[in-house]
Amino acid sequence: MPFIRFLPKLKNIRRLFACGLLLAVGSMPAQAERLKELISIQGVRDNPLVGYGLMVGLDGSGDQTQQTPFTTQSLNNMLSQLGVSVAPGTNMQLKNVAAVMVTATLPSFARPGQNIDVTVSSMGNAKSLRGGTLLMTPMKGADGMVYAVAQGNMVVGGAGASANGTKVQVNQLSSGRIPNGAIVERAVSSPLAEDGTFVLELNTSDFSTVQRAVEAINRSFGRGIASAVDARMIKVTAPAQPEERVGFLARIENLDVTPAQAVAKVIINARTGSVVMNQVVRVQDCAVAHGNLTVVINTQPTVSQPNSFSAGGTVVAPVSQIQMSQAGGALQMVRSGASLAEVVKGLNTLGANPQDLVSILQAMKAAGALRAELEVI
């Protein structure tokens, strides 16, 4: 009797264990990402800088002054500012100087005195910038103001040699990088919560993701702290004390948010024929027939020689032979796929190259068998 009474209890325990297991599996968090990876903060941004300068100290691989007169003009202007006057009409043959463009990115909250990396690129016909030194170059922003000054020795990752018409080159010799090559001279104001609110912007517009982000912020900081403006923007009430805002943003960036499922999309590069698809792409059952048509034209000259002592002349007549072949285009069955691996496996059964696959995917989209958007870049 005690054993019989124990059986119902054992069954109840098993049922409770099974329910608990299902609840545990159901409550397991999906693949989430930090909110920092999904958003950017309005007002916190980088600023591009650009400048025009001269690279000196090249080993005879600089600009050819006849084809690039602006190099000579720039050098004359620089020398005049340094107190060196060059007689008008002087033919300056400079092989160790090159005109370059200098670019950099001024990070947010950069302060005067900080160093940033710069990239130097030749704008003339210099053969190589290897071993050159960039002279002091003001770097301006979009408003025309100078925000940094660049100068220093450049690092070129390429190498090359030439002799007697033979040339060997590895990587690029006409551009390089100067680590910490520019000093910030002016800071860019980054307005942050001037009106008492932060504005968060999603990297990709999506109503579901922005709603999940709002819910995650409100769960952590209280109801009404965050509200969605549209499918991209989230307005968050900032703390009243300015010294608390940095820590507040740091906590927001580390919140876990599960982004909504991406839109099924197939990207086609029309220039290279590359085809890339994300994991949401699906196909339905369809039959595809695709054949390749190849035309080969072979032309050979034929010489017609007249008989001896005749009044005719030698004539060269081209004779062309045209051959046309078409590969088999039997119907191939493409099965519906529930995962990206099955989709790829089904498309591989066609045996088509990437160029042919572009046409096949377009036809499958028109037939309603491809559940994805086609985007040509």
pLDDT at 31: 75
Highest mean pLDDT among 80-89, 117-126, 354-363: 117-126
Decide if pLDDT at 21 tops 50: no
Cα four-point dihedral sign 77, 80, 81, 82: positive
Q: Is residue 373 within 8 Å of residue 361, measured between CB atoms?
A: no
Comparing 130-144, 254-268, 318-332, the range with the smallest average pLDDT is: 318-332
CB 285 within 8 A of CB 336: yes
* Better-predicted residue by pLDDT, 186 or 376: 186
Tokens of residue 210, six digits: 């922005």
- Alpha-carbon distance of 67 to 78, in angstroms, equals 20
Strand partners, 49: 104
For residues 235 and 210, the answer to whether their CB atoms sit within 8 Å is no
- 186 or 262, which is more confident: 186
What span, in angstroms and rounded, lies between the C-alpha atoms of 50 and 119? Answer: 10
- Tell me: pLDDT of 20 over 60: no
Handedness of CA 92, 97, 103, 109 (dihedral sign): negative
Tell me what the mean pLDDT of segment 40-49 comes to: 91
Please provide the DSSP assignment of 217-229 as one string. Answer: HHHHH-TTSEEE-
Supply the pLDDT for residue 199: 93
What gap in Å lies between CA 41 and CA 213, rounded to an integer?
14
Asked whether the beta carbons of 120 and 177 are under 8 A apart, the reply is yes
Angle at CA of residue 73, ends 67 and 76, nearest 5°: 135
Q: For position 12, what pLDDT does the model report? A: 46
pTM (predicted TM-score): 0.67
The burial of 118, by beta-carbon neighbours within 10 Å (0-12 exposed, 13-18 middle, 19 or more buried), is given as: buried
| Domain map (residue ranges) of the chain | 47-156+172-184, 192-257, 265-299+319-376
Distance CA 343, CA 336 (A): 7
Strand pairing category for 226-228 and 233-237: antiparallel
Mean pLDDT of 193-222: 91
**What percentage of the chain carries pLDDT values higher than 90?**
31
* Opening angle at CA 333, ends 328 and 336, nearest 5: 150
Q: Determine the average pLDDT of the residues in 317-333.
A: 63
pLDDT at 169: 57
Would you say 68 and 99 are in contact if contact means Cβ atoms under 8 Å apart? yes
User: Phi and psi for 118 in degrees, rounded to 5?
Assistant: -130, 155
